Amino acid sequence: MRKEPSTGVRSPILATFRWAGTGGMIVAVLLPVLVAPSDYLLYLGTMTLVFSLLAESWSLLAQAGLISFGHAAFFGIGAYASALLSLRGQLSPWVSLILAALLAAAFGLVAAEVAGNLTGAYFSLATLAMGEILRVVALHWTGLTEGAWGLVGVPGLPRLPVGGLARLVGTRATDYYAALLLLAAMCRTQSWIQRAPLGLALQAIRQGEARAAASGVDARRVKRIALAVSGLFAGGAGALHAHIFQWVDPASAFSINLSVLPLIMAMFGGSRYLLGPVLGAVILYLGNELIFQRLAPGGHLWLYGGAVILVILALPHGILGWVEALLEGRRGPV
């Protein structure tokens, strides 16, 4: 499941990760059955998937060395677009979800134009600014977004009728599987990119944009693609969120938290690895909801802040990086 080979020699560690990944996938598919009839647990699962999706989309940019502090922009655009299209435009939630994701991808192209030739920290600051600008716009453009009150009554994805199938997977299984589908699509895209020339270009840009350009890589174009794809899935996550909660407002859709969380989750799990962000999302989100909130309600910032600092100082490649180092140590140098 590793995104880049270290020495090109296939190590047994990859096999370990692969087994774990496959196991995780099986659990994921069967989860609604496993947790039925608890609606709350299913909701947790769905939200974990949404955050995993967001974190994965973030890590695509991180591959290219683009650390985004403004992913809330994509998320919020997806949320609001899908809400508006389905609520005001009377479109089916499925259709509006797809259109909203496309719109977010288009914004990715805009972002590429605005910030495309900025390097490192400056790019990050630009993304921060963009996310905040959109939040302010959403807050004050009341004609479109109803401002701080938000949009209420957004149609949700169709529920399963009570009884029958619903007894097996719960009435809100559609939300869950929609999220799972989107996440699977994202991961598939990621792994395809990794094997294609594009993946190499992304890595190269991260390690030396000037050198990459001298080798023929059109950095602007590659960044455009990365931002569009990242935006597509992050927007999809936002749209899902809107339909699950059936409500959007600037604070929840464009909150700085939404820019913070994917960063933390992806880095914590290990943004280098295909499923690292998913792992990060599982640990941090579920950890927060199930454990932390009981102990220290409202203290989630401690958890997240601590996670970030831990990663930067001690786990540069996240949990999976640490696991890999452990495994490598145990089997001796490969």
Partner 1 sequence: MALCEAIGLTRRFGGNAALQQVTLQLEPATIVALIGPNGSGKTTLFNLLAGQLRPSAGTVRWRGREITAWPPHRRCRAGINRTFQVAQPFLDLTLSENVALGLLYGAPAEGARRRRDALERAQEVLGEFGLAAKAASAAWILSLGELKRLELAMAVATRPALLLVDEVLAGQSPTAAQEILGHLIHLRAQGVAICLVEHRLQALLLVADRVVALHQGRVIAEGRPEAVIKSPAVLEAYLGEPGE
Partner 2 sequence: MGGLITGAFYALLASGFALIFGVARIFNLAHGDLVVLGAYVGEHLWRVAGWSPILAMPLAALPAMLLAVAARPLLARVGEPFVLRSIVLTFGASLLIQSGLQTTFTADFRLIVPPGWDRGVSLLGVRVAGGRLLIAVTALIILALLHLLFTRTFFGKSLRAVSLDREGAALAGINPVWVDRVALALGGALAGATGPLFAAIQYVTPSAGIGPTLTAIVLTIFGGVGSMSGLLLGGLLLGLAEAVAAWAGGAPWREVTSLGLLLLLLRWRGTGLVGGRAG
Is-contact 53 182, C-beta < 8 A? yes
Place of tokens 């399963």: 160
Partner whose binding site includes residue 185, from partner 2, partner 1, none (CB under 5 to 8 Å by kind): none
Does position 219 interact with partner 1 (CB under 8 A)? The reply is yes
Which range touches partner 2 (CB under 8 A), out of 26-34, 179-187, 246-254, 297-305?
297-305
Identity of the residue, 109 or 184, whose beta carbon is nearer to partner 2 in the bound complex = 109
Does position 208 interact with partner 2 (CB under 8 A)? The reply is no
Strand partners, 249: none
Does position 215 interact with partner 1 (CB under 8 A)? The reply is yes
Does position 122 interact with partner 2 (CB under 8 A)? The reply is yes
Tokens of 330: 């145990």
CA–CA dist 332, 334 (Å, integer): 6
Identity of the residue, 17 or 304, whose beta carbon is nearer to partner 2 in the bound complex = 304
Which range touches partner 1 (CB under 8 A), out of 206-214, 281-289, 294-302, 309-317?
206-214
Does position 225 interact with partner 1 (CB under 8 A)? The reply is no
CA–CA dist 111, 228 (Å, integer): 9
Which range touches partner 1 (CB under 8 A), out of 14-22, 138-146, 208-216, 300-308?
208-216
Identity of the residue, 39 or 218, whose beta carbon is nearer to partner 1 in the bound complex = 218
SS3 2: strand
Is-contact 282 265, C-beta < 8 A? no
Tokens of 208: 């030396």
Instruction: Write the CB contacts of 133 (distance below 8 Å, at least 6 apart in sequence).
Output: none
Question: Can you tell me which of 14, 106, 200, 251 binds partner 1, judged by CB under 8 A?
Answer: 200
CA–CA dist 128, 72 (Å, integer): 9
Partner whose binding site includes residue 176, from partner 2, partner 1, none (CB under 5 to 8 Å by kind): none
Is-contact 248 151, C-beta < 8 A? yes
Is-contact 21 1, C-beta < 8 A? yes
Partner whose binding site includes residue 295, from partner 2, partner 1, none (CB under 5 to 8 Å by kind): none
Question: Can you tell me which of 162, 214, 313, 314 binds partner 1, judged by CB under 8 A?
Answer: 214
Which range touches partner 1 (CB under 8 A), out of 1-9, 37-45, 130-138, 260-268?
1-9
